[in-house]
Amino acid sequence: MNSQIIKPYGDSWGDGQVQLSFTLPLPAGPRAQEAAKRLAAQMGLDNVQVVHMKDLHGFTYFILYGSCRHSVDVSAIPELEAEEQPMDFEEINAFIQARIGRKLVVVGACTGTDAHTVGLDAIMNMKGYKGEYGLERYPMIEAVNLGSQVPNEVLLQKAVEVKADAVLVSQVVTQRDVHIQNLTQLVEMAEAEGLRPRLIMVVGGPRIDRALAAELGFDAGFGVGTTARDVAGFLAKEMARRLEGEVK
């Protein structure tokens, strides 16, 4: 067996065991159960077992197990960038001091209609999150937190006013993809005003990842579980890269 080709692991190699749950818009019964099994089969599962079926008044909730027919060849995945050891609080400040030689100025906001500051506060507030201090606590970072429901134009005005190196945008509400329109508009406005090249633009939120951020024209995107250290480390390195790039 080629160990580079893998399947989900339940309790023995190659069993392909997968658990899943979903709701179908059918009343519970043999018909709904059969529908769930057929659906799971089309998802690539063999030996499907419906272990739980609950009637939700016209809907049915299922928990199923099955054996996945598919496998993945790990050797075919191109090398991702090496996962280097992230810097800690002290190292980041020392890095900014040494390589940039002044404070980094960062403006953060929940933009558009978004009123949820939990994510932004976790990154920016003094206190931080998960034992990691927020950006306000970094001696080498000047952090300006504009709070919630900030129009994109206000964020950019503020960035100009305080000569920001970076803007952080938090988007928690993603219903009907409102965040996509809003984030796209921000990048377009920054470009229209000629600000884009001199700003590091970062977006964070539970539905944000690196790929989406790149697609929307941001320099980085941070999702669930991010701490201030991740963001500060990125900003410091990106800023240093840009400055050193200019020198060459």
Partner 1 sequence: MGNQQLTLDLEKVARARELARSIALQVQQEIDQNTTVSIERTVARLFGIDGTNANGVPLPNVVVDQVAEAGQLQRGIAYWLANGAAALGKAPQQVAEACAQGLDLCSLGVQDPNRVAEIMETYTSQALQAIKEQRRVREEAVARLGMGPRPLKYVIVASGNIFEDVKQAQSAARHGADIIAVIRTTAQSLLDYVPYGTTTEGFGGTYATQANFKLMRQALDEVSEEVGRYIQLVNYCSGLCMPEIAAMGALERLDMMLNDAMYGILFRDINMDRTFADQYFSRMINAYAGIVINTGEDNYLTTADAFEQAHTVLASNFINEQLGLQAGLRNWQLGLGHAFELDPNTPNGLLYEIAMAQTIRQIFPEAPLKYMPPTKHMTGDIFLGHVQNAMFNLVSVLTGQSIHLLGMLTEAIHTPHLSDRILSIENAQYVMDNARDLGGEISFRPDGIIQKRSAEILDQTVEFLGDIAAKGLKRAISEGWFADIKRPVAGGKGSDGVISKGLDYVNPIMEEMRRELGSNSAGKGEER
Interacting residues with partner 1 (CB under 8 A): 21-23, 54, 56-57, 59, 61, 113-118, 121, 125-127, 147-149, 173, 175-176, 178, 206, 224-225
Identify which of residues 5 and 51 has a Cβ nearer to partner 1 in the complex: 51
Give how far Cα 50 sits from Cα of 29, 39, 45, 55, 215, Å.
12, 12, 12, 14, 39
The catalytically annotated residue of 127, 130, 158, 237 is: 127
Active site includes 127?
Answer: yes
DSSP state of 112: T
Question: What letter represents residue 186's amino acid?
Answer: L
CB of 159 to partner 1, least distance (A): 20
| Cβ(198)–Cβ(167) below 8 Å | no
CB of 127 to partner 1, least distance (A): 6
| Cβ(95)–Cβ(87) below 8 Å | yes
Give how far Cα 23 sits from Cα of 27, 47, 50, 54, 166, Å.
10, 20, 12, 9, 43
Identify which of residues 176 and 248 has a Cβ nearer to partner 1 in the complex: 176
Give how far Cα 239 sits from Cα of 53, 215, 235, 236, Å.
54, 21, 6, 5
Identify which of residues 141 and 150 has a Cβ nearer to partner 1 in the complex: 150
DSSP state of 39: H
CB of 149 to partner 1, least distance (A): 6
Task: Find residue 105's DSSP bridge partners.
Answer: 142
CB of 113 to partner 1, least distance (A): 4
Distance of alpha carbon 43 from alpha carbon 89, whole angstroms: 45
Identify which of residues 178 and 212 has a Cβ nearer to partner 1 in the complex: 178
User: Catalytic amino acids?
Assistant: 127
